[in-house]
A and B are shown apart, each in its own frame.
Chain A
Amino acid sequence: MRSSMANFAKSNVPRFSVDVYQNEYLPEGGSEVNAIVTVTATGGGTIGSAVSAPVYPPGRGPSAAVAIMVDCSGSMDYPPTKMRGAREATAAAIDTLRDGTRFTVIGGTHVAQEVYPGGGRLAVADATTREQAKHALRRLSAGGGTAIGTWLRLADRLLSAADVTIRHGILLTDGRNEHESPEDLRATLDACAGRFTCDARGVGTDWEVKEVTGIASALLGTADIVADPAGLAADFTRMMETAMGKEVADVCLRVWTPVGTTIRFVKQVAPSVADLTDRRTEAGPRAGDYPTGSWGDESRDYHLCVAVPPAGLGQEMLAARVSLVVPDTDGTVQNLGAQGLVRAVWTDDMAASTSINPQVAHYTGQAELAQAIQKGLDLRKAGDFDGATAKLGRAVQLANASGNADTAKLLAKVVDVVDAATGTVRLKTRVAEADEMTLETRSTKTVRVKK
């Protein structure tokens, strides 16, 4: 079923709506309720994602501060196209900044260094500062190690000083985080989570996929591979456009569940899979907040799974109430108005209780697809080729059945597909490292339900 509620929040903030897709009918004794919750924000300044620049009256866009973190470790000069590509990409991102946006460029090695404007400040974007910043990029040079946590901490210090709505980082690395322990990076990510959002990119093929995706996931941004440095400028422009389109930050999915219930999981399932279950913050009796980061005009889907105590046939209960809130620093919240109800109704109508909601089925498949790819690639690296073949075969089957063409294409570069429908595949003997890393980085990308 589908139920919908929308509400106009105050101006300058997009209007949020919540739609719930579920089969609320449970058999006698049934206790698991699944629902896909679609959250859509509309009515802000951005028009779609392909627009070259957000449409705002001069000086009226959402206030934002951006930190661009560029890897300046010694390996960025091997080949030198990487450093050159990074400079060009950063320049392109600076050109995409809306006038009035606060910004900084940070050069990252085993320490972090302010490249522009320096002095612990942020610049305010206009024609002059943009030129100054691009000029300063010439000082970006390769040399030193990699300690990404130091870059993030500097970005956090600079961004938090600005009184703005949106705080965002763009991070580019070409290598492993070698000069810092994983625990240190983890601690930094935990400290920065909720303070700013961050997109992470790996250039070349010498970086660690799980490090880059881990940064993006912790800081609620996107992760991707830019195998060819020539592609960096276009990617940075797109990322900055998206950042400029954000209008409200720190939006949380607030989930209320009744007494006696357990939340099995809360996952973002579109545009990509991200498990939010463990990121819950308690928010009063039986309610918890799950962070979703900042929003422009966009739509995301979430899969909510709740275990409820079985009730008698004909009984109905509210299994969850989903709303959207922006927590304030003083402990209060701004409620964005929209809410969705997830229900449970017990029936002896087997046809009703055994049918699976198409959205739930689709996203269950998409989540399994992401997992199958990750498991398959891990097994392949570990030398378990039978296991890898089975997992990647299953992935091919799921990508084929759900119409996830992008992922299917990436899979076809790692395995030879004998029969997509049955998931019969053979591992390719030679796989380009870039193809394997691309598949792993993008494994969580999902497609929406075919209408």
Chain B
Amino acid sequence: MSQMPRQAALPKCPSCAEPVESGDLFCGACGYDLSVVPAASQDHPTLTMTGSAGPGDGTAGDGVAWPAPEPAGSGAPPAAHQPADLPGTDSGGAPLPGHEAGQESGAGQEAGSGVRLDRPDEPDEYPLQAPDPRLAAGAAAPADPALLCVACRAGRVDSDGYCENCGHAQPRERDHVERESGPVAAVSDRGLRHHRNEDAFAVGHTTLPDGTPVALAVVCDGVSSATRPDDASLAASQAAGDTLLAALPRGTHPQQAMHEAIVAAAQAVNALAEEPATAREHTPHQNAPACTIVGAVVTSGLLVVGWVGDSRAYWVPTDRSTPPARLTEDDSWAAQMVAAGLMSEAEAYADERAHAITGWLGADAYELEPHTASFKPDRPGAVVVCTDGLWNYAETAEEMSEVVPPDAAVRPLHGARVLVGHALDGGGHDNVTVAVLPFPAPPQGAGSA
């Protein structure tokens, strides 16, 4: 499937898969001699998610006449907002709980604390690094580096993905994933403390019925206390991305499409709980797979976000003299306490339960409540969609705005890398996944730098 995380189409170390700069002679991570590898072209074809990208007509007007969202349990069509008018509405058109999203900074909130308080006690087996075809093709170096251990550089890698000499696990496909799709890009990294990446994402772009561009990103964070969190995040991000890419060209209102995408993602995660029978038999006490989700859709005039859990979306205007904003409200214990007026923000976030999530996708979720909101920003900017692996190191909208590069809207992949780098520099305590979307969605062909 198009959303399967794959080897990034970007210069990476052929040995350890860490990103490298074009001028580097050695990999900064493993010291691999890059001079033996032919320099990869910086020019990469844009990958389309579904069929044809459609001819770009070059007009980025906001003259799309949106049909009202399909009824499907939702009431009035959602209102559009100016960024300053936050918050948005949920998919039922009701106001979101809590106010001043983005401005509430939480003085007591320390970056770096994990969100989930529990841990997997019986992690499952997970997919191992698939051979990268580019390595076989591109690096005709003396000894095939694909077979050599990245840790000791001496042993071969066995069929289980461990070095036959030093035993070290080899980088897995999902340890570091980068992907661009038209004007949107995302980067996901295992981080520095966790042994596998339980985040996943989907990015894509297509055109609306009137030919104007639309871009989307979905980011999911596997719940570590559940079984197979990595499977959950992958299934959810895939299902949501597919749903959006199918619904948007048909003319479904983006906010309605986002709602449907989250429902589809939830169903995909629920389906995981039924299989495989053997794994469940061995660990009958385990929680069903679960994950968070956050998605964003940008068109020429509209910005729609949707989420369940504590993964977030931020608005960062290109003109930094205007205020940035957080676009989502966490489904977390602390956020609920504050929203219900039971605790002050300082009190709530000082509690050890602060980061426990209260909403997620998965069979153990009591009731699925997808939140969606739509905005009509009046100026260009970038939308940052991320897991807590990033926002733990840039919690408030202002903090996020400071670390988003000024050119993020036109160089989204670079922007996403910089943000992942910020999280890793901060300690990389969790998996970190970041998608960057420009607003307004640029016309086809005018996308990535």
Contacts of A319 in B (CB 8 A): 167
- Assess whether A316 is in contact with B168, with CB atoms less than 8 Å apart: yes
Q: Which residues of B contact A (CB under 8 A)?
A: 118-119, 121-123, 125, 152, 155, 160, 162-163, 165-169, 190-196, 282-283, 429
Which single residue of chain A is at the shortest CB-CB distance from B170? Answer: A316
Contacts of B160 in A (CB 8 A): 318, 321, 341
- 27 A-B contacts (beta carbon < 8 Å): A2-B122, A2-B282, A2-B283, A258-B163, A258-B166, A258-B167, A259-B152, A259-B167, A260-B166, A308-B167, A313-B193, A314-B190, A314-B193, A314-B195, A315-B168, A316-B195, A317-B167, A317-B168, A318-B160, A318-B167, A318-B168, A319-B167, A341-B160, A346-B195, A347-B195, A348-B193, A355-B121
- Interface residues contributed by chain A, number (CB under 8 Å): 28
Contacts of A3 in B (CB 8 A): 125
Contacts of B429 in A (CB 8 A): 348
- Assess whether A352 is in contact with B119, with CB atoms less than 8 Å apart: yes
- Assess whether B192 is in contact with A317, with CB atoms less than 8 Å apart: no
Distance in Å: Cβ of B424 to nearest Cβ of chain A: 11
- Assess whether A314 is in contact with B191, with CB atoms less than 8 Å apart: yes
Which single residue of chain B is at the shortest CB-CB distance from A344? Answer: B167
Distance in Å: Cβ of A318 to nearest Cβ of chain B: 4
* Bitwise interface map of A from 275 to 303 toward B, beta carbon under 8 Å scored 1, else 0: 00000000000000000000000000000
- Assess whether A317 is in contact with B119, with CB atoms less than 8 Å apart: no
Contacts of A261 in B (CB 8 A): 167
How far, in whole Å, are A1 and B194 apart by their CA atoms in the complex? 17
Q: Does A311 contact B (CB under 8 A)?
A: yes
Contacts A1-B122, A351-B119, A352-B119: A317 and B195 contacting too (C-beta < 8 A)? no
Q: Does A345 contact B (CB under 8 A)?
A: yes
Which single residue of chain B is at the shortest CB-CB distance from A312? Answer: B192
Contacts of B167 in A (CB 8 A): 257-259, 261, 308, 317-319
Contacts A257-B167, A261-B167, A347-B195: A318 and B162 contacting too (C-beta < 8 A)? yes
How far, in whole Å, are A319 and B160 apart by their CA atoms in the complex? 13
Which single residue of chain B is at the shortest CB-CB distance from A25? Answer: B119
Distance in Å: Cβ of B126 to nearest Cβ of chain A: 11
Contacts of A12 in B (CB 8 A): none
Contacts of A315 in B (CB 8 A): 168-169, 195
Cβ-neighbour of B192 out of A257, A259, A314, A349 (below 8 A): A314
Contacts of A321 in B (CB 8 A): 160
- Assess whether A318 is in contact with B121, with CB atoms less than 8 Å apart: no
How far, in whole Å, are A3 and B152 apart by their CA atoms in the complex? 26
Contacts of A311 in B (CB 8 A): 168
Given contacts A1-B122, A259-B152, A348-B429, 20 further A-B contacts (CB under 8 A): A4-B282, A258-B165, A258-B166, A258-B167, A259-B165, A259-B167, A261-B167, A311-B168, A314-B193, A314-B194, A316-B168, A316-B195, A317-B167, A318-B160, A318-B163, A318-B168, A319-B167, A341-B162, A347-B194, A349-B119
How far, in whole Å, are A346 and B118 apart by their CA atoms in the complex? 16
How far, in whole Å, are A2 and B279 apart by their CA atoms in the complex? 10
Contacts A345-B195, A347-B193, A348-B193: A318 and B169 contacting too (C-beta < 8 A)? yes
Contacts of B191 in A (CB 8 A): 314
Distance in Å: Cβ of A420 to nearest Cβ of chain B: 30
How far, in whole Å, are A260 and B152 apart by their CA atoms in the complex? 11
Which single residue of chain B is at the shortest CB-CB distance from A348? Answer: B193
- Assess whether B193 is in contact with A317, with CB atoms less than 8 Å apart: no
How far, in whole Å, are A3 and B278 apart by their CA atoms in the complex? 11
* Bitwise interface map of A from 257 to 268 toward B, beta carbon under 8 Å scored 1, else 0: 111110000000
| 7 closest residue pairs by CB, A with B | A258-B167, A318-B162, A316-B169, A318-B167, A317-B167, A316-B195, A317-B168
How far, in whole Å, are A313 and B190 apart by their CA atoms in the complex? 12
How far, in whole Å, are A348 and B119 apart by their CA atoms in the complex? 11
Contacts of A348 in B (CB 8 A): 193, 429
Distance in Å: Cβ of B150 to nearest Cβ of chain A: 11
Contacts of A347 in B (CB 8 A): 193-195
Distance in Å: Cβ of A349 to nearest Cβ of chain B: 5
